[in-house]
Amino acid sequence: MIELKSQREIEIIRRSGKVTAAVLTEVMQRAQPGVTTGELDAFAERTIRERGGVPTFKGYRGFPASICASVNDEIVHGIPGRYVLREGDLLSIDIGTTLEGFVSDSAATVAIGEVSGEARRLLAVTQECLMIGIAATRNGAHVGDIGAAVQEHAESNGFGVVRELVGHGVGREMHEEPQVPNYGRRGAGAKLRPGLVIAIEPMITQGAPGVEIQKDGWTVVTADGKLAAHFEHTVVVTEKGPKILTLRELGEHPSVENFRPEAETGALSR
Ligand code: MG
Ligand code: MG
């Protein structure tokens, strides 16, 4: 069952989202050559707790860390550890915060130092996919409208759309109904109504969209070993359009552009 959130609940998720956004920004800034993903995780956990939150991922179905850190061909759910980031890597950082009983969920992929032109294009298109998906998240539209918009943008740029993992409703639980696929048909799926809070999270591949799971039981990688990127925001449907609850401030990382004004006004609508 899809549960719409009250104004009060949305305000709590917005506060939770502010913590997630601030911590994600700081982790993105610290993602530089020579830093380990384990150091980023320790920093994130400390910072989430200092801000009064709990890292949602830690212990979730046994996940051992507070963030997911997925490098290069790793798409999502990478376990932070001893890996030392190096020039040319792509790093996807996913963070969830629980605050006052409500979850917020956001992710971004950053370039570590200089990366290839193709990697930069993958980052840009994946972030555009997220913003185009958010722009489609309007009162009266359908879940399929989001997926169709994301899929069209990714595939028209020659990239793949991961099918095995999807976005989701967000609330007291990290994963609530409805599922929000990054592919689909316009007009299909549940209707979007004011008070619906969802995480939209395109996972886009440089090559074929097929995935495999590593021996650690968590890390999802591209089956063909090519690069992947992942951007995610927690979004609420309102009568006045979609509102991003995990919005980051400007200046978050040199490799990530900021689409904020367009996203807030819905100017990316087509
Ligand atoms: Mg996430
Ligand atoms: Mg999510």
pLDDT digits (tens, 9 = 90+) for 55-94: 999 999 999 999 999 999 999 999 999 999 999 999 999 9
Work out how many domains the chain is built from and give that number: 1
- At CA 56, angle to CA 24 and CA 200, rounded to 5? 60
CB of 242 closer than 8 Å to CB of 134: yes
Does 23 fall in a domain? yes
Q: How many whole angstroms from 77 Cα to the centroid of ligand 1?
A: 9
d(CA 267, CA 177): 27
Q: Are 110 and 251 in contact (CB under 8 A)?
A: no
- Report CA(220)–ligand 1 centroid distance (Å): 13
What is the Å distance from ligand 1's center to 218 Cα?
14
Q: DSSP letter for 46, please.
A: H
Q: What tokens appear for 55 in the block?
A: 């890292």
| 28 domain residue, yes or no | yes
Residue 269: predicted pLDDT: 39
What does the mean pLDDT of the chain come to?
94
Starting from the CA of residue 166, give the closest ligand: 2
Alpha carbon of residue 162 to chain centroid: 13
Q: Is 263 helix (H, G, I), strand (E, B) or coil?
A: helix
Q: What percent of the chain has pLDDT over 90?
A: 92
| Alpha helices, H only, 81-178 | 117-135, 143-156
Specify if 252 maps to a domain: no
Residue 249 included in any domain: no
Structure tokens given for 174: 């990290």
CA of 40 to the centre of ligand 1 (A): 16
Alpha-carbon gap, residue 173 to 114, rounded angstroms? 38
**Is 254 inside a domain boundary?**
no
CATH number at residue 129: 3.90.230.10
93 Cα: distance to centroid of ligand 1 (angstroms): 8
- Whether residue 164 lies inside any domain: the answer is yes
In a domain, 261, yes or no: no
Ligand nearest to the CA of 20: 1
Q: Report if residue 250 sits inside a domain.
A: no
**pTM (2 decimals)?**
0.94
**Structural domain harbouring 149:** 7-244
Among the bound ligands, name the one nearest to the CA of residue 63.
Answer: 1
| Digit-coded pLDDT (tens) for 156-200 | 999 999 999 999 999 999 999 999 999 999 999 999 999 999 999
3-state secondary structure of 150: helix
73: number of CA atoms within 13 Å, CB side? 13
